[in-house]
Structure 1
């Protein structure tokens, strides 16, 4: 693996904040440039969406504040972020790139367009289906949901072992895999039906479920998170052991492919490369007392890039101090240097996006 370089950030406040510093292997910017992609990372503990962007030979880490950001979903023109009490919807407004400093640097600018208030439901992973609908894990109510304009959330599916919907986090439903534009697999920390019942057997009580059939595919997992379908195979992270695993969806057989030095959560792929989130395990974290606890003595958090064909770590991004826990890790494809503007950004006061059919009626004074 290449030598480590310090981070770069274009935010003066961030430059003064050692707590938000990071280091990265010198090959990570080159990997992102070759992929023509940006890494989106959420840390609910630090309250940030992090945009890790290649900037020449270094990595620019841009921090955007959210209250408890966790799940992220993207499509060709949108970014959705689940936070403490709702889901923020951002749309790419290309014309904003010309107005945003440094001029000529950004190739996409995502402006906040909607905020759907769900209430405090502990939103975990999210996905966008083939019709453009947002699906998300409602961990507090142990169900998989969508949105509509009239309601906080619309329950669509929940495990058969959950007898009723209640704000009790009965099984810690957490991970969602979309396949062919539809929700297909979910993970939970236990097949339990009592308030926080999953906590009694964190080490190996985890399960993987098939959404269409409701069938249990695998059990005995160590805190499973982040199920993904990639290259015709089913993958997930066993956070309790710090491992990336590949599963046989028919037999439920689990094959360990790679190991990282800590609590693994947050996963995306590009070809043979797996981008894996790594979190510290603190004494106050409810996810301690698991096998990986003793292996995270260096208290590392960040993103590890693993070659799935060899199981070896080939690049990394490591955060220091304030960023202790990672939730989502997602590649934003075909965008190399984006920005995300919250609704209170000054530029949005004078940014107007109209339907193409009405542009001919617009008079610019």
Structure 2
């Protein structure tokens, strides 16, 4: 955990041991002017994560107006979802449940929330991406099985739906089904990279081709078919938003016509969307040196950045939905180059998150009730 200085644009340097296969690194946070004040005014904090260094982060502001930062180690940390105060997160082979050990008004070492990993369901490596939770279950995308699944009380997972162009339920990522939106507590929209039915078929497509789909799960209709590597469909106030990741855009899709409208450009691979009132918080990642969206010539995002003379960034942008303007931003440099998901923590200002290696778990307990 680390605190920033008094100025909003003060750097926050965080040094931590990475997973065993990686060298020691440092994450540097560069908040824009007003970002800290925006968090304080709205009485919220943020959780966000990155799977390439296996980190779940939380950031808030303390009573002295300083940033409070906490991090935890979970391999391949991906989809995040907060439901009824419980935080859910996908990792390499498990889906984790975190509970806040503190009641409203309680404090622990300067924190007003401490999220502890209480339970995990082992799914195996099915490449879980988004996790979305409602009263009817814990839903997630199993990319290696090209399906929406639900957490099962006994087995690895419960398959629920696959795209109509996927011919069989079998292991092997065919279309890169990745992200999920719920409506009224049930799966409603998903995104995938292409309508391919061959294992790894989506990887063989030209990287400048916009074959990404947004599908209505309940009708099986393709609502939009001209997106580029889309992620993070989300509903907010009846409107459907999406990250058009391969073009570095955050945009809206008309739910009646399927027409896509870009709202703003962010100089990075956009992915991870959360909302607070009339704001969207959108994550962006720097292109990889190799992989799906590497920063080589010929990729649309890289060409766009070169044409604009802008360097790619890893960031979280606070976007005003009325104007489409980026009002606040925090940029991550150093060891953190990608963001997968973003989650708002309402009414929490100074959060802390623990992992299984946290010494605090040796002496921190939350019994279900007072024993008499």
Q: TM-score if structure 1 supplies the norm length?
A: 0.89
Distance of 1:347 and 1:18 partners within structure 2: 23
Distance of 1:301 and 1:337 partners within structure 2: 23
Q: Which one of the candidate residues 156, 175, 180 is aligned to 1:171?
A: 175
Q: Secondary structure at the match of 1:292?
A: helix
Distance of 2:326 and 2:103 partners within structure 1: 39
| Number of the residue aligned with 2:343 | 330
| Number of the residue aligned with 2:3 | none
Does 2:318 align with 1:305?
Answer: yes
Offset, 1:54: 2.0
Q: Which one of the candidate residues 301, 304, 321 is aligned to 2:334?
A: 321
Is this contact kept in 2: 1:275–1:306, CA < 8 A?
Answer: yes
Is this contact kept in 2: 1:72–1:125, CA < 8 A?
Answer: yes
Q: Which one of the candidate residues 120, 124, 135 is aligned to 2:125?
A: 120
| Number of the residue aligned with 2:199 | 195
RMSD of aligned residue pairs (Cα, Å): 2.2
| Number of the residue aligned with 2:77 | 69
Distance of 2:15 and 2:127 partners within structure 1: 32
Offset, 1:153: 1.2
Does 2:25 align with 1:21?
Answer: no
Is this contact kept in 1: 2:113–2:348, CA < 8 A?
Answer: yes
| Number of the residue aligned with 1:94 | 102
| Number of the residue aligned with 1:148 | 152
Q: 1:271 to 1:279 in 2, by over 3 A?
A: same
Q: TM-score if structure 2 supplies the norm length?
A: 0.88
Does 2:163 align with 1:159?
Answer: yes
Distance of 1:313 and 1:99 partners within structure 2: 33
Q: Secondary structure at the match of 1:240?
A: helix
Distance of 2:315 and 2:67 partners within structure 1: 13
Q: Which one of the candidate residues 236, 242, 246 is aligned to 2:242?
A: 236
| Number of the residue aligned with 2:221 | 215
| Aligned residue pairs, count | 350
Offset, 1:352: 3.7
- What runs of 5+ residues in structure 2 fail to find an aligned partner? 1-6, 18-23
| Number of the residue aligned with 2:92 | 84
Is this contact kept in 1: 2:8–2:36, CA < 8 A?
Answer: no
Offset, 1:97: 9.4
Distance of 1:308 and 1:95 partners within structure 2: 33
Distance of 1:177 and 1:149 partners within structure 2: 22
Does 2:367 align with 1:354?
Answer: yes
Offset, 1:48: 0.6
